[in-house]
Amino acid sequence: MLFKSRSQNQISQCADNDKPAKHIKTGKITVIACLLLAGQALVSPAYAGHPGLQFEQSSDITDRVIIKYKNNSSLNSINALAEDSESNAHSHTGVNFKYVRRNHEGAHVMKLQQHQHLAELSNMLNALNSDPDVEYAEADLLLKPLLTPNDPRYNEQWGYYETAGGLNLPAAWDMTRGAGAVIAVVDTGYRPHIDLVDNILPGYDMISSTSVSQDGNRRDSDATDPGDYEPAGACGSGSPARNSSWHGTHVSGTIAAVGNNSIGVTGVAYQAKILPVRALGRCGGYMSDIADAIIWAAGGSVSGVPANANPADVINLSLGGAGNCSNTQQSAINKARSLGATIVVAAGNENRNASSSTPANCNGVVVVAATNRSGGKASYSNYGSVVDVAAPGGQKSSGTSYGILSTINSGRTTPANDSYGFYQGTSMATPHIAGVAALLYATNPSITPTQVEQILKSTARPFPSTCSQCGSGIADAFAAVNAATGNTPTPPPAGGSPSANTLVNGVAKTGLSDQRGSQTRFTIDVPAGASNLKFDITGGSGDADLYIKFGSAPTSSSYDCRPYINGNRETCNISTAQAGTYHVMLVAYSSYSGVSLVSNFAETGGSAPVVNTSINETGLSAARGQWLHYTLDVPAGKTNFRVNIANGSGDADLYVRFGATPTSNSYNCRPYRNGNSESCNFNNPQAGTWYVSLKAYSNFAGVSLNARYQ
């Protein structure tokens, strides 16, 4: 079956008009990413330098059929198999066939003498299907493509971080960047782009036809993309000329372009690995080849092809077309799922119900719709009850930068130089989901395909703009990764009564702790006329990040204050406080413990702020060389400020400094004695913030800290 990509303004290979650890594979995801482009039969340029790049409507022409017999047990050799298959097919249809090969489930791929339309093939297929010895016979149609890092063009990858249309990826990257996960991209192959090649594993070229492959051979271990350009008439009478799309390279870049390398763009799962499986070339790719590619990518056995040494957790197949789900497709999907794979499919680019697009209408798949930069439905995206979730696919009619930026090649026909381009389509939306799925596997290698689908759907956020029948929402990478770890972000407390999550002016919450990636939320009600509102976290170990927002709960991308510095000494000062509820969120950048949180404000009439008058911490511990930091604001006119540590085991050293965090070489007081009995005393202390720190000269535990002024 030939699936074609279409685009209005750019190429999209989707089904629409346009630290590493050893990875134990207990389940795999196969993501079928549509290669379809948004648009009409002829699409406008996909990117600068390729003014003629476009995709046609889906073709119904093929020169192959697939025949599955109920019993092949009497066929004892390949030759006998070929002769019997050709003879049986000819006897029922009067058509001469040439035997091509046997596929993964024992069906036979047969070549006709010439290309025919499906309407012309219908009588022949009906005759074959009437044979009681035939399990099924179907056309082998060509499927076609549907089209915070330091990377300098990351700011153009709006689909990762923007509040309206983005995936909330930066917060997810605080927990995982995909290390250990493998994503297979069944597509046009790949180019060894400088921004991608370090994340490429050895793949395979699964194309069995030299007219499609354009590299002069059939199946082999070279999955690089020689170009899928098409001269006029190459794909049927009247078919237009088309430049090479480099579609597989674009899709792969969205999933796993190398991140934090100061080059170009970054991928959704930029520490994961890409397994390229080439199945699309000139005029698309045969359904039988794509089915074998899915099986091989998932770790299954394909006759004549070496075993896959890197079975994929995720398989991205950005392709599709009109029609029902074929037996060959469904069989491949079922086999992949039996190997632990989840199939994720692009909804298609025709702005119609996705139930008429395949493989979106196959069983056992997760179907992805495309959204625009505003978070609404992309104009071309398919929709309907079969759609599960949505992701950024771009819409270049609003401007080139509103497309999806990723890696491509500058060659119009054959490969030239590394480049970047904006594409659009459900082909671009699907690799976003493939990348998020990879983050889930990197977080929890034992996760199952069913759990992955449930997490993607249950954690999706509501559409900020109209997207009717686009699934459960826009994928939220941070929420999904949290769910995969078993953590659920702590919701804001309901109601207004005091609780463990309600802050009181000047009263500290102490001994706070949480695991990496977790969120803990608090609220404080600030009265009218209050001023000098301040939030502080201090002390403990690890790294907690402070977020503040008035009126609603902060998120990783929406807040009024977020210091975002290393350690647990962060402050938010709000000089002009609003009357109402302030929301506080602590996010565990890394696991933390022993942290204190306090909020202070001055009451109406300008009275002095209500502040902590002391620090009282017990049971403190740290490993050798580790620091614990605290602060205390000392008002003007105080006569004495005293700090002391006591109790416990090991050796903690006390450091005190005014106005800044002490260091090993900069402090106002450092007793520097053996054990944990040390004190610092200041008469007539300077008004302002005093910083108190403990450094572990050796491991210590059970230490008490007290700081007080009078």
Residues with a catalytic annotation lie at: 187, 247, 427
3-state secondary structure of 188: coil
Contacts of 117 (CB under 8 A, 6+ apart): 60, 61
**Amino acid of residue 285:** G
Dist. CA 663–CA 674, nearest whole Å: 19
Dist. CA 191–CA 155, nearest whole Å: 24
φ/ψ (deg, to 5) at 595:
-85, 145
DSSP 8-state symbol, 570: E
Helix/strand/coil percentages in the chain, nearest 5:
20, 30, 50
Count Cβ atoms below 10 Å from residue 48 Cβ, excluding itself.
Answer: 12
Dist. CA 325–CA 374, nearest whole Å: 32
Distance spanning both ends of the chain, measured CA to CA: 83
Q: Residue 640's beta-bridge partner residues?
A: 683
Q: Which among 208, 230, 228 is positioned nearest to 217, based on CA atoms? A: 208
| Residue 705 tokens, joined | 């800290």
| Residue 334 tokens, joined | 């079922």
Dist. CA 225–CA 215, nearest whole Å: 9
Question: CB of 561 within 8 A of CB of 572?
Answer: yes
Contacts of 391 (CB under 8 A, 6+ apart): 159, 167, 368, 369, 370, 371, 429, 430, 432, 433, 436, 474, 475
| Residue 409 tokens, joined | 């090649």
